[in-house]
Amino acid sequence: MKITCIGAGYVGGPTMAMIANRCPDITVKVVDMNQARIDAWNDPDLSQLPVFEPGLDEVVSEARGRNLFFSTEVNEAIQEADVIFISVNTPTKTYGAGKGQAADLKWVEKCARQIAEVADGEKIIVEKSTVPIRTAAMIKSVLNGVGKGEKIRVLSNPEFLAEGTAVSDLSNPDRVLIGGDDEDAIETLAAVYAHWVPREKILKTNLWSSELSKLTANAFLAQRVSSINSISALCEETGADISEIARAIGTDSRIGPKFLKASVGFGGSCFQKDILNLSYLCDYFGLPQVAQYWRSVIELNDWQKRRFAEKIIRSLFNTVAEKKIAIFGFAFKKDTNDTRESAAIYVCRDLLIEHAHLAIYDPQVSIEQIISDLEYVGIDNARELVKSGVITTVEDPLEAADSAHAIAVLTEWDEFRSLDYDKMFEVMKKPASIFDGRDIIDVTATRRIGFDVYAIGKVENEEAGWEVR
């Protein structure tokens, strides 16, 4: 069997690498129009892969050149494939109808049209990208338009992997979901996964349920984070501790312990995009109450990010102008180089608007990425701010802390737990503050050192007296 995947991004790359790794009898070709990305996947130095995921280098190295290939020859790969995955980007629309809400399906449609144009014979198209419900109908129409609808089947097979844990999620998924209306096609795809996934974990369903399940799963997960974050604000006002609440409610088997970590706000390429998309669909189908219910999950998240930045500003005597603030972490969560919708972008933006100076430390994120993210949220002069030293990136957290008034922990990189905070305190301006947006700093120990510490969902140190109500 031959599999082609269009799109060598965060989803297509790791997913196809795992399929190739576990199915030596299947030839897998990943194609992308982005030459630089394909070159990076082909780079002999596996540390330069375009996607940073723990363990991915090993998975790729075992299969690459054997039955896993990366190329820009899209048409050729479409022609030779039995199964074609579409794993292209489906970001929120930035123009026209549905701007800021609907998913932009132009890349999916382009793929469908390209397949319709060049494919011959029987094939299966698999929607891997997260798409709105009924996208498969669009793909089918495109195929029918050129008379290929009979020979080319369309399946929905959403990917549930989370970034940073892609390899373990792919090797041991909770479930694989396949939606379609053709039993043979469904079974062909199920047989691929059955190389390593137990049959009982391969769920078969119809197209529309499969498409909507993905949006629903992400909406539920994001809702849990907003729910715990809403209670974190109440904890700070009342003296309850959000970690204790999470522990207490998480032991209820109906609630469960996962995804109850209060934070500065969720980020990532999926949660916000998928909820906006879900709300848009609800409005479209005449369900404004449902749309508003899900939108409130995002509103709460936006408020949580803003609240955190405001807390920093208020605590530093209502001004951060020309004060250096050490930013620990810029990625949207640990163990990834992805910054899409990262809470750090918005917190940094709010601080820059107040003329703060930022020294950013993140073990995986480049300065170019930071500039482009800040420009995207309205800091148009981000590049000049870098040139003039208002924004710097550093290789070492201690360098970030040097002469800083505060440390803001925005990503939960493990290394932040074991830094030498005594040394940090020594080199910082006094009073020195820590704002922990990830609940990873030892509050008691750092307060003992002399820091004023604010941690999401924890009561403030009354003695420090750094918030006058």
Q: Which of 7, 13, 268, 457 binds ligand UDX (CB under 6 A)?
A: 268
Any idea what the Cα angle at residue 85 is, between residues 118 and 91, rounded to 5°?
A: 105
Smallest gap from residue 29 Cβ to ligand ADP (A):
12
Residue 270 in the binding site for ligand UDX (CB under 6 A) = yes
Q: Which of 129, 188, 263, 433 binds ligand UDX (CB under 6 A)?
A: 263
Contact pattern for ligand UDX over residues 213 through 252, marking x by CB under 6 A: -----x--x---x---------------------------
Residue position matching structure tokens 């951060």: 320
DSSP-assigned letters across all residues of 163-225 = TTSHHHHHHS-S-EEEE-S-HHHHHHHHHHHTTTS-GGGEEEE-HHHHHHHHHHHHHHHHHHH
End-to-end CA distance of the chain: 68
How many residues at the interface with ligand ADP, by CB under 6 A? Answer: 21
Residue 37 contacts which entry, ligand ADP, ligand UDX, none (Cβ below 5-8 A, type-dependent): ligand ADP
Residue position matching structure tokens 């070492």: 396
CA distances from 247 to 160, 255, 261 (A): 25, 11, 10
Helix (H) or strand (E) holding 349: helix 343-353
Q: Which of 4, 5, 22, 32 binds ligand ADP (CB under 6 A)?
A: 32
Length of the chain: 469
Q: Which of 74, 152, 161, 382 binds ligand ADP (CB under 6 A)?
A: 74
Residue 128 in the binding site for ligand UDX (CB under 6 A) = no
- Give me 219's structure tokens: 């909406």
Q: Which residues of 399-424 are buried (b: 16+ CB within 10 A; e: fewer)?
A: bbbbebbbbbbbbbbeebeebebeeb
Smallest gap from residue 259 Cβ to ligand UDX (A):
4
Q: Is 214 a catalytic residue?
A: yes
Residue 6 in the binding site for ligand ADP (CB under 6 A) = yes
Contact pattern for ligand UDX over residues 199 through 218, marking x by CB under 6 A: -------------------x
Q: Is 142 helix (H, G, I), strand (E, B) or coil?
A: helix
Segments in 3-80 forming alpha helices (H): 12-22, 35-42, 56-63, 74-80
Q: How far apart are CA 353 and CA 69, in angstroms?
A: 46
Q: Which of 33, 138, 162, 459 binds ligand UDX (CB under 6 A)?
A: 162
Q: Which of 23, 270, 282, 348 is catalytic?
A: 270
Q: 181 φ, ψ to 5°?
A: -120, 15
Residue 41 in the binding site for ligand UDX (CB under 6 A) = no
Query: Is 8 in contact with 40 (CB distance < 8 Å)?
Result: no
Residues 317-346, interacting with ligand UDX (CB under 6 A): 332-333
Q: Which of 37, 153, 261, 323 binds ligand UDX (CB under 6 A)?
A: 261
Contact pattern for ligand ADP over residues 220 through 259, marking x by CB under 6 A: ----------------------------------------
Report the interface residues with ligand UDX, using CB under 6 A: 159-163, 218, 221, 225, 259-261, 263, 266-268, 270-271, 332-333
Catalytic annotation, residues: 159, 214, 270
